[in-house]
Structure 1
């Protein structure tokens, strides 16, 4: 198979990233089939140390910060994240370099007979796209002899394909109401799924949580006889300044105080950075490596400035809580006359809740859809804005939405594209002249 055929093969299995309202149960997400696949591959997930990260928001940012600092400290580091922006290869990287096309082709050739054997047996159900991607990542990291792998959970935690690792530390970033049709309709239910990554005796670092979620995490840590480190209590941070290029801040850790900068905007990124510092401190990374790692972190699509005059900013916020943080961050970091919003989202998101947050903040709205199969109907988004007496422009394609927003924007206005990383990816591609891989066959 060539590269395109290899990607098509991966995407040809059940892909819960494309399915609305997927069933979430042991029957559909049976870790035993993942364990069987990995056993047939020689258990590559056991070949290096791991950091395992779950949560509703901030997982990818935190994972990237941890990986960056570990790399500066001299470790060879694998990083597994999702979703991707432009190519599926972004999900699997070593020392900041995505897996090469030829490397992916070789690994798929290795996986095909093993996957076919597991699926032919099907004792525990058939393998999914995400499970195959996770196995590919573990195998790539083993082949590359990484010292650490930083693993972002795909969905939930308890039943996620990545929950086969026994990490050095388990991390739970901010939990909010997301994937409620799959993980549960309360913070407590969602937190229980996220806390499913907690292992007996493995220390846990938790970002600040609402009381309902933290109570669940504390209970699971007690049951698993493991140490819980609370960001905001055991480890704290404070901002010391910011501009459009980044932020400076101080983290008071358990063993050291860290004077830090990050090239990422938004107060929520300071929280993510404090979580990353806690992880790095726990596993013994030195102060200078932590500082240099965070200073040089690269994580596109998160409060990213694509253009100036007028400003064009993209961010992957996708639920009401993250939208509130985004609106605060825009006011904190930028001075602008009007806010012109480009919005698109996946069909399983809380459109009403998101638009309730945005309606009071924006002056003009353009709704659009991505090429992703779960993209929401833009007429539904427009109707939701209409309940707030806002008239919106409907543009089926992201390129048209960007062109319209730039046409109506004055030099002092700010254009913000948000609602999903899929929208963000296509805006970046339009502005920078990039091409992206399709999300479905």
Structure 2
């Protein structure tokens, strides 16, 4: 097969299966070997965590660019378009490069199939192969690699990173890497590599020994939040690590942790960047779909929070910054395989409207728990739901769109189309 445009590549990726019969790294290692192991030609930083791994990856990417490093970034999910998944120096992979790289991967697949005609990749493996090949082709100095799910068995776990990062450990994807918090910690500890430093963020005391014991076994130096590096929220965030003291604009507390983690990992690389440049790089970083302010008057916030920990953090921030006597209105859907009952138990006085999106995993009305259906109204058409909510916002109201990056993406697209139409 030879691709001629980006639409063909992206459409093809979505026709691939999501899982193999066995969950190991043999398939991704085989395709990378035929591609001459592009993942070994670029220095990497490996980022996992239940929450915060995307934000941390964006902050790291910006710091590396500021230090003059040609920087690759592999993240998921995308918010506006697929090309966001693979970036070079903050720019999405251009369509023509996506096509070129996909055709190189196809050539490698053809070689393998001459000996093993049944060989195939799942969607995420193909995306990982694309990213590593693209970064190697462009001679990146560093690539920041965000894990898909977990760590040990994730298809990105074929690298020997300069630094490993575990942002948080919480409950999410329990069916795949759980069911317990300890199971999830064991899976995430899989990115800790021999003698490579590991930066740990806000990790629960309960499972911290799981990570530190793995690090000890691998002789990997550990840098732990509130022990080796520190963050305090005052009028601004104040950060300390070794002899460095920095400060950053105040934002949600969890974003502060992500900043502290990213800065610590960056400082371990000993690249030439002074304090002022580090602070600038952080404050200039824009993370799509995370605490994203779409409008100030009225206040409309987009955030892809899709598990209990992320939703808890988001609601804490929104409630704290919300001005009475206005109302907090929420438009949300979630994937039906998430812990819906737990997430919805977090809501108090918020006015929630349930919706859905045209995506196979998205919850429809019947997928929401009975108590949730009884409590909140449901509008099947997310566009109608959003327009109604937006038009009826009163002074002081806050509208929050959340529960899924797919919904955030759809609303952003809706807003872009609305602005183009007005122009």
Q: TM-score range by the shorter chain?
A: over 0.9
Aligned to 1:169: 163
Q: How does 1:283-432 map to 2 (within 5 A)?
A: 283-285=269-271, 286=273, 287-336=275-324, 337-358=326-347, 360-362=348-350, 364-381=351-368, 383-386=370-373, 390=375, 392-432=376-416
Aligned to 1:183: 177
Over residues 260-313 of structure 1, what are the superposed CA-to-partner deviations in whole Å (9 max), with x where a residue is unaligned? 237xx4110001101011101111132233212101111111111112332111
Give the Å deviation of 1:386. Answer: 4.6
Structure 1 ranges of 4+ moved more than 3 A: 116-126
Give the Å deviation of 1:218. Answer: 1.0
Aligned to 2:253: 267
Unaligned runs of 5+ in 2: none
Counterpart contact for 2:201–2:225, Cα < 8 Å: yes
The RMSD of aligned alpha carbons is 2.0
When residues 124 and 261 of structure 1 are mapped into structure 2, their CA distance, relative to the original with a 3 A threshold, is: farther
Mean Cα displacement is larger for which, 284-293 or 218-227? 284-293
- Answering whether residue 42 of structure 2 is matched by residue 33 of structure 1, we say no
- Report SS of the residue matched to 2:368: helix
Q: How does 1:5-404 map to 2 (within 5 A)?
A: 5-15=8-18, 28-118=22-112, 121=115, 126-241=120-235, 248-261=236-249, 265-285=251-271, 286=273, 287-336=275-324, 337-358=326-347, 360-362=348-350, 364-381=351-368, 383-386=370-373, 390=375, 392-404=376-388
Q: What is the aligned counterpart of 2:7 among 4, 9, 13?
A: 4
When residues 36 and 380 of structure 1 are mapped into structure 2, their CA distance, relative to the original with a 3 A threshold, is: closer
- Report SS of the residue matched to 1:115: helix
Counterpart contact for 2:165–2:198, Cα < 8 Å: yes
Whole-Å separation in 2 of the counterparts to 1:178 and 1:152 = 16
Counterpart contact for 1:107–1:136, Cα < 8 Å: yes
- How many aligned positions are there? 413
- Report SS of the residue matched to 1:136: helix
Unaligned runs of 5+ in 1: 17-22, 242-247, 436-441
Give the Å deviation of 1:123. Answer: 10
Over residues 7-48 of structure 1, what are the superposed CA-to-partner deviations in whole Å (9 max), with x where a residue is unaligned? 1222221135xxxxxx8xxx6232122111111111111111
- Report SS of the residue matched to 1:258: strand
Counterpart contact for 1:428–1:434, Cα < 8 Å: no
Whole-Å separation in 1 of the counterparts to 2:31 and 2:277 = 36
Give the Å deviation of 1:116. Answer: 3.7
Counterpart contact for 2:197–2:221, Cα < 8 Å: yes
Give the Å deviation of 1:120. Answer: 6.1
Whole-Å separation in 2 of the counterparts to 1:119 and 1:376 = 38
Counterpart contact for 2:60–2:144, Cα < 8 Å: yes
TM-score normalized with structure 1 length: 0.89
TM-score normalized with structure 2 length: 0.93
When residues 273 and 135 of structure 1 are mapped into structure 2, their CA distance, relative to the original with a 3 A threshold, is: same
